[in-house]
Amino acid sequence: MNKIVVHGNDGKVSKGHSSDFTPSLPYFHLATLENPSDSVKFWLENLKAVFVVMNFQGDFLHLDTHDFDQVPFSGKHIVVTFKDGEKFYGTSDLNHRNSIGFFIFPIDPDSNTIRAFVINSAIASVDITE
């Protein structure tokens, strides 16, 4: 099961495990860390992003790199700016930009995030840096 951190449009963050997250469905279930024996249904349209992570603690002292020159090319180099002002630097093929969202992979090799699915309605802009 994937370790997932869910960011809602309302700013709420939930952490847990999911075995049915897929962008092709409008919702998925999360067994939260607070209540792992029960699952919560999350609708993608109500979210900002879904982060697949290595661990739930992360490293709060780690500062993500924003240097695209150090990243091997694998997709378009992009900066996603969310409506709340947060930025995500990563690579993406942007093939599913017209659907509810798309996957982005962090450019920082030491990031706790493996990949993220960002929801188009929560995005203010997508800048291609190449």
pLDDT (tens, 9 = 90+) of the chain, 130 residues, equals 889 999 999 999 999 999 999 999 999 999 999 888 889 999 999 999 999 999 988 767 767 766 666 666 677 889 999 999 999 999 998 766 668 999 999 988 888 999 999 999 999 999 988 6
List the beta bridge partners of residue 104.
116
CB 106 within 8 A of CB 92: no
CB 17 within 8 A of CB 4: yes
- What's the pLDDT score for residue 66? 67
Q: H helices of 11-97, where?
A: none
Q: Count how many domains the chain has.
A: 1
Q: pTM of the predicted model, to two decimals?
A: 0.88
- What's the pLDDT score for residue 70? 67
- Domain span including residue 80: 2-128
| Distance in angstroms (rounded) separating the CA atoms of residues 71 and 79 | 14
List the beta bridge partners of residue 29.
41
